[in-house]
Amino acid sequence: MITWDKRARITAGCIGALLLAVLAIAILYQPQSKTDKIYVSALESYYKGDYQNAYYLFSKISLFSNLKVPAIYHRAECARMLRDEISEIKHYQLLFNNYPNHPLSIRARYLAGQKLINSKPKPAKDYFEYIIKNAPDTDYSVASEYYLGYLLKNKYKDEKIVPVSAKDEVQSYFRHYLKKAPYGTLALSAVFNWLEFTNDIQKDDYVLMANTCYLFGKYKKSLELLEKAGINENWTIAVKNYNKLNDIEKVKQLTELGLSAYSNYAGEDELIDVIDIYLSKSGSLDKLYSLSHGQGKDYIMSLKCAKESDKTSCYSKLYLQFPNGRFSADALSNIFFSKIKSKNYEDAIKIGRDHLNKFPESNSAPMVMFWLGKISEKTNDYEEYTNYYKNVITRYPDNYYAYRAYLRLKRLSNPLITNNLNVKPVLYPYKYSRRNLIIKLVELGDYDLVDELTGDDDFIRAWVLYKKGDYSRSMRIARNAMAELKDKPDKYDLRWRLVYPVIYYDEISKYANAAGNNLPLMMALTREESYFDPLAQSAVGASGLMQIMPSTASDINSKYNLGFIIPMALFNPSHNLELGNYYYKFLKEYLEGYDVSAVAAYNGGIGNVRTWKSSLQYNDTDEFVEQIPYSETKNYVKKVFGCYWNYIRIYSGNQ
């Protein structure tokens, strides 16, 4: 039986414990605003190189904050910068032992394994095996395979006899790594560790190694490994190596031999690469055409057709020989357009519909759909042509032909829709909850950790690069990620702003207005020329944001009395934009005020454009663009006006 005194003592003890708990919470509790302030101060100290102070400040983050785990991780980083390996490892272990399900735990375990690989191989091995088992689809799992191979190799480094099973296991680890990450950080180390470990290597493995050596610029070593694997069977890699070594004769000799006898050993992408290399070295297209009999023939034929005067016959032959090849959709679209040119609309409609049925996801599908709409307009079939144009806009919203379809639907003859942009900032590309850790880190400016925590999301990677000011890489990553999406999001989706950000708006607006140019068009042209990299420079010397040749800049500088020092002005963003806008003004005035002609001349030259305008037979802008003889210039015009369309679509409400 519990007496009154005993019950009182128990009650008092419970109250005391509760008071202590409340006191502990009161001591440990930290308002969110204070936590945020400490975290930002710690980050600032870290980026300034004051790692000791950052290490201390990160320790002050409340245990109850969702910033605690990032703070522990950053303390490990600070310890690394201070060369305090014991503290670094301790914090990694603290993180993954106490927060095993946190997204940072795998990285912490990986980094701890790296640190322990030589001093404590057993726990390092355990860490890497854990990662492979529990995070198999991550880059850390791939790298862990390399380290397991390295650890096992080191285990037998002093042994005269190595068990066959161990040999196989080491090679398996290195093989898996090179297959998954041929250009990975550890790839070259994998090659040399593998070669050091054994000479009993299969031919296919030598090819893996040779490919990695090529990617890392070890061209002679790559060729040495290819000799062991058989150069004839792996001639495409050899061609790429000889190209880098500037051995033109070997490039031509091996390409011709490879296409005539060993093309079936190569993949289609590899063949395209080496054919392009061969032709860049003044190799003969006709000779390649006569030599090729297997894979690669269709690509060579497509290049040949583009140069033929009788393109229709050539493309017909290509389509009949390779009806399911990579270039058959393009061939059929060219046959389709030739029927339009000859006014054989009945056959054009049949071929166009066949194209859309057979190649609905091809790059040429929007072009075919748009031109089917134009044919329907000729017969005044309002419902049909409206459906075609609307389908182009709906299915391919960011495409050049969506822009052309919009003009047809709105009955606009001028290619310029508006001169205004409603500028909006680039934001984090997804909607979110305020409690989300990622968003908290975004708000506090911890962009590197955001990049780490978001894994393989290229839109977030692009956003992080944008925030760091690396606009060119940001746009390319976002562009490629958007291209991968089969179903494009609506124009209000924040990811579009990453693909088409508004950069240098004030300067472009100022000089476009001064020169009488269209602002969104100049924004588009600048984006396509340099991706807003003020230090961009082409192989032929075109420089800066609007990629102007020094000689052209000198002429424009004199003509408009701009007073710049050339070529220094080309790498000054403001000066380059002024020069580029006045150059465009000059082109447009010289070409009777037509923007499509001026854009074409910006890439292909005034003389060529004047020749095309006088020699080509066309009824409207669309027919002119489709017939531009230089494929680079034709694609350039489509890219610039497609980009113009997207800026308007995203920033002014049109669609």
Lookup: tokens for 579:
């020069």
DSSP state letters, 507-533: HHHHHHHHHT--HHHHHHHHHHHHTT-
Beta-carbon contacts of residue 638 (< 8 Å; ≥ 6 apart): 400, 625
CA distance 17 to 479: 59
- CA neighbor of 65 nearest in space, from 101, 90, 30: 30
pLDDT of residue 583: 98
Instruction: Please give the DSSP secondary-structure letter assigned to residue 564.
Output: -
CA distance 388 to 131: 52
3 state SS of 332: helix
pLDDT of residue 443: 87
CA angle 115, 118, 119 (to 5 degrees): 80
CA distance 247 to 258: 16
- CA neighbor of 308 nearest in space, from 279, 330, 286: 286
Residue at token pair 């054919």:
275
3 state SS of 603: helix
Report pLDDT digits (tens) over 633-652. Answer: 999 999 999 999 999 999 98
Burial readout 447-458 (b: 16 or more C-beta within 10 A, e: otherwise):
bbbbbbbbeeeb
Note if 529 is an active site residue.
yes
Count of all residues that appear for the chain in the document: 655
pLDDT of residue 9: 61
Chain centroid to CA 210: 25
For residues 355-372, give the mean pLDDT. Answer: 97
Q: What is the mean pLDDT of the chain?
A: 93
Distances 419 to 156, 291, 352, 411, 416 between C-alpha atoms, Å: 71, 53, 35, 18, 8
- Say if residues 615 and 651 touch (Cβ distance below 8 Å): no
| Banded pLDDT at 3 (limits 50, 70, 90) | low
| Banded pLDDT at 160 (limits 50, 70, 90) | confident
Residue type (1 letter), 558: S
Q: Which domains does the chain have, with CATH numbers?
A: 33-199 (1.25.40.10), 437-499 (no CATH), 506-651 (1.10.530.10)
Q: Which of 159-173, 182-196, 563-577 has the lowest mean pLDDT?
A: 159-173
Instruction: Say if residue 103 is preceded by a cis peptide, omega within 30 of 0.
Output: no
- Say if residues 117 and 155 touch (Cβ distance below 8 Å): no
pLDDT of 19 over the 70 cut: no
Lookup: tokens for 590:
């010289």
pLDDT of 402 over the 60 cut: yes
pLDDT of residue 437: 86
pLDDT of residue 24: 45
Q: Which of 326-335, 445-454, 615-624, 626-635 has the lowest mean pLDDT?
A: 445-454
pLDDT of residue 239: 97
pLDDT of 415 over the 90 cut: yes
Distant-in-sequence contacts of 38-44, Cβ < 8 A, 24+ apart: 39/67, 39/70, 39/71, 39/444, 39/446, 40/444, 40/445, 42/71, 42/74, 43/74, 43/444, 43/445, 43/446
pLDDT of residue 26: 44
Backbone angles phi, psi at 203, to 5 degrees: -60, -40
CA distance 313 to 18: 91
Q: How many CA atoms lie within 13 A of 403 on its CB side?
A: 25
* Residue 548 bridge partners (DSSP): 543
pLDDT of residue 572: 97
pLDDT of 11 over the 80 cut: no
CA distance 338 to 623: 11
- CA neighbor of 240 nearest in space, from 261, 269, 202: 269
pLDDT of 25 over the 50 cut: no
For residues 312-341, give the mean pLDDT. Answer: 95
DSSP state letters, 409-467: HTT--SS---S---------SS---TT-HHHHHHHHT-HHHHHHHTTT-HHHHHHHHHH
| Banded pLDDT at 331 (limits 50, 70, 90) | very high
Lookup: tokens for 103:
């997204």
- Say if residues 218 and 195 touch (Cβ distance below 8 Å): no
- Say if residues 392 and 403 touch (Cβ distance below 8 Å): no
For residues 446-461, give the mean pLDDT. Answer: 88
* Residue 422 bridge partners (DSSP): none
pLDDT of 171 over the 90 cut: yes
Lookup: tokens for 298:
């269709």
Residue at token pair 């198999």:
136
| Banded pLDDT at 10 (limits 50, 70, 90) | low
Which is the catalytic residue, given 529, 578, 592, 623?
529
- CA neighbor of 240 nearest in space, from 288, 202, 281, 290: 281
For residues 336-342, give the mean pLDDT. Answer: 96
Identify the helix (H) or strand (E) that includes residue 53. Answer: helix 51-59
Lookup: tokens for 320:
């009949």
- Say if residues 349 and 369 touch (Cβ distance below 8 Å): no
Distances 369 to 361, 366, 405, 622 between C-alpha atoms, Å: 12, 5, 10, 13
